[in-house]
Structure formats: structure tokens, C-alpha cells
Structure 1
Amino acid sequence: MARTQTDSPLLFDIPVRPDFTLERAVIRDGLAPVAGLDEAGRGPLAGPVVAAAVILDPERIPDGLDDSKRMPPETREMLYSAIFNTAVAVSVASVSASSIDRSDILRASLEAMRRALRGLCVQPAFALADGRDIPPGLPCAARAVVKGDQRSQSIAAASIVAKVTRDRMMMRSATVNPHYGFETHVGYATERHRSAIVEHGPITRLHRMTFAPFRL
């Protein structure tokens, strides 16, 4: 039986840092501009999933773009500003915890990416989406790229914008709900967060009630 081909690269094929190789190949085929898509917040117990779409200017790519999870918060914040100052277009969208509960986290993540792409002020000709799935309903052709935030600078830029935006949203939630420690864990299942849930209960429309431990 023939094996199904996958876009997942071998370990030694993943660059040390993402570059613009995938984008250049698409541009050479006459499909420009190219947008990168990524999301943040698939795993937390609380808060929305946030996605970003970024069209980089090939002549003004900020130095240091990488998977947002591989850098400290201060570096993410610096690159967040650099992306907004240099990119051709940036768009951000989110899907709430309640909407996640009504569908599932994968569908919600893809929907957030679809909304982000459609929100760009410049129409992309092609999109590179992080992960194994192409979001349905995109206005252009697209390719799913496994570990895309470590391979494509456009996807890495989107991962940074999505992560910083979501972290800021959860930090703002901490000012309204100070007992849960959102300013430190931004909704992930830390010991402090779980203890606060036991003591104070879940927050309606902020906690994901279909996630453990709530659905148990």
C-alpha cells in the first residue's frame, strides 16, 4: 500500500529559524501577495482562540521572526510592534469560549483563521496556514504547513501577533476577575488556575465548559 504523502518535514529539514522560502516559491508562480495564518490559544481552559493573518513586505521583514512559543514575552512584544510597523497588512480575529463549546477547538481555530484572512485590508492571492488543515471558506488558494511557524516568516509573524493579542486580552480579564491569575497563566491549566476554579467556580462565557475538568 502506498503511503500518504505529508507536508510534515523531517527533523533536519526544519530550518533553525523560519525564512521566506515558501513565500518566494508562491510568488514565483505569480501568486502575490502571500499571507501567513496562525492561531494562539487552542489549549487553555479559559478565553478565546485568537488568529492572525499577516502579509509581510518582502523588502522590510523584521529581524528575529520565529515561532512565538520559542521567545520570551519581551521579544514577542518588540516584534509585534515591528510587524505592525512594516507589514503590508495585518488582521486579527477571535472565537469566544462559548463558541468553542458549541463546536470544538479545531473548528473554532480554523474559523478564527478564516475571519482573520477575510479581515485583511489587502486581498491575498495565496495563504500559508500553520498546521495540517486549510481553513474552509478562504477567499484565495492556500496550503497547510506543518510546523509552519518554524518554517515560514509570514506564519511566524502571524503567530506572534495572535499570541501577543491573546495574552493582552487575558491580562485585561485579570483586572475584572482578579482571583484567577490570568495575568500570569493567560488561561492555561496551571495549579493556581485549577485551585481558583475549585474555590471560585468557572466564569460564565470565559471558561471553556467542554474542556476538562468542567465536562467531567
Structure 2
Amino acid sequence: MPYEAPTHTVERSLRATTGAKVIAGVDEVGRGAWAGPVTVCAAVTGLRRPPEGLTDSKLLTPKRRDELAVVLAGWVTAHALGHASPEEIDELGMTAALRLAAVRALDGLPVRPDAVILDGKHDYLGAPWQVRTVIKGDRSCVAVAAASVIAKVERDRMMAVLGGPGGGFEDFAFGDNAGYPSPVHRAALEALGPTPYHRLSWAYLDTLPRWRHLKKVRRSEELLELENGGQLGFDF
């Protein structure tokens, strides 16, 4: 598959303009899923030549992602993963849950980064981290691309265990859909209802009459409604 190889351009710029020496690339996976955690990887790569074929995980086949993840584990200077659970996503909302997972990943690194390259245009980390956001950073920045692959492979494996033999949720086919929307996933939801690994504040529950009573409102929304004199129809 043709692709434009990621570079260290942003890392070099941060080094030159801020004096940063340890720079972590950060990327997430699982933001749009119905089930499972949101997972963030923080990867520090230095300025070495990246492994052949490294790019955004979404552009790689599952087989190639798995192969690259093995190579990257021994190639990166350091990496760490952070997760925010479905319960935390329901409680905090996605932006705050992303920050929680990212901070957990960054705190898991052996050395605190001087700067962070964050994939996308929104800085969900904020102070005290020195952040540079890069749209499509998972394609253009080596450290972010490495984080993208490691995060994707780790989360897919976690979901495959849940959906595999003995995982207890074979009907949901998490090994195939990783908790994202799919016809099989929806059919299992209609028949069996959400599992403990589903996000109960997500809009998909609105379309499932049998189970929509389980939908939760995020605490921030609950407090806002109460402040406005409203009443909630959900029992926490």
C-alpha cells in the first residue's frame, strides 16, 4: 500500500523552539466504540530511522499491525499505555476520559516528557503538559504513528479476549468489531442487552427500546439539568 512515511519534523521543531529533549507522541483508539475502554499510548522514539512501513494504524492490515507492534516494542525508546473504562467514560464524558487515559499513559513512562505531540486538532491534555497538536499526526509524525499502532493492537487484543472462547461475550464478536458498531454487535445488543463493558451514556441505547431504560446521563449533564430545575428519569 503506497504511503508517505512519517518523519521527525515536528520533533525537531519542538527541540529547536522549546528546548525539549524527551518528546512523546500520543494517540488514542476506541473513541467511537460502543463497548470497551478508550486506550491511549504514549511513545518516545528519539530521532532514529523508523521501522519500514510505519504509518497510521488505520492504514495497515491487522496482520501488518501485529507485526509492526512486535518490532516497535523493541524499537521505541519507551512507551506506556493508559485506559479509561466504560464507567469512567459514562461518568466524565469522552474528552475528560481521554485526558485521564493519556495522563495514565504519560505517567507510565520512565521519564516525564518535556513535550507531547498529540494527534488531531484538539488539545484534550492541557496544562501542565506542553502540547503540540498535529492533524493526521499518526501519518506524519514518527512517535505518533508508533503510538497509533501500539494502542490499536493492544486494545484489539483486549477486546478479542472478551469476545473469544471463555470470555463470556462470544455473541458480540468483539474479536471482529473491537466493540465498534457492526450488524452482529447490534443484533447481540438487541437480543441480550449491554454487557458490563458497554458505554451506557452512548446514543445507540436510544434505538434499542428494550434496553433504553439503562441509559445513563453523564454527571456533568445531570448537575446542569438539576441546576436548571429539571428532573432526571435515571437512577444511579
TM range (shorter): 0.7 to 0.9
User: What is the SS of the residue equivalent to 1:166?
Assistant: helix
Provide the C-alpha distance between the structure 2 equivalents of 1:32 and 1:166, rounded to a whole number of angstroms: 29
- What corresponds to 2:212 in structure 1? none
Q: 2:158 maps to which residue?
A: 169
Q: Select which of 5, 17, 41 maps to 1:52.
A: 41
Do residues 212 (structure 1) and 200 (structure 2) align? no
The aligned counterpart of 1:4 is: none
Matched, 1:191 2:183: yes
Runs (5+) with no aligned partner, structure 1: 1-14
Letter in 2 for 1:145: V
RMSD: 1.6
CA distance in 2, matches of 1:168, 1:57: 27
- State the identity %: 36
Question: 1:157: Cα distance to partner?
Answer: 0.6
In structure 2, how many angstroms separate the alpha carbons of the residues matched to 1:103 and 1:170?
22
Please name the residue that 2:220 is paired with: none
- The answer to which structure, 1 or 2, has the higher relative contact order (CA under 8 A, 6+ apart) is 1
CA shift, 1:34, in A, is 1.0
Deviation for aligned residue 1:172 = 0.7
Deviation at residue 113 of structure 1 after TM alignment: 1.3
CA drift at 1:63: 2.0
Counterpart of 1:63?
A: 52
Opposite residue 66 of structure 2, the aligned amino acid is E
1:25 aligned residue: 13
Aligned partner of 1:94 in structure 2 is 83
Given the two structures, how large is their TM-score scaled by the length of structure 1? 0.87
Partner SS for 2:68: helix
**1:16 aligned partner:** 4
Which structure has the bigger radius of gyration? 2
The question of whether the paired residues in 1 share the 8 Å contact of 2:125 and 2:131 is answered with no
Compute the displacement of 1:48 (Å): 0.3
What residue number does 1:144 align with? 133
- Preserved contact between residue 23 and residue 46 of structure 2 (Cα < 8 Å): no
Report the CA distance between 1:116 and its aligned residue: 0.8
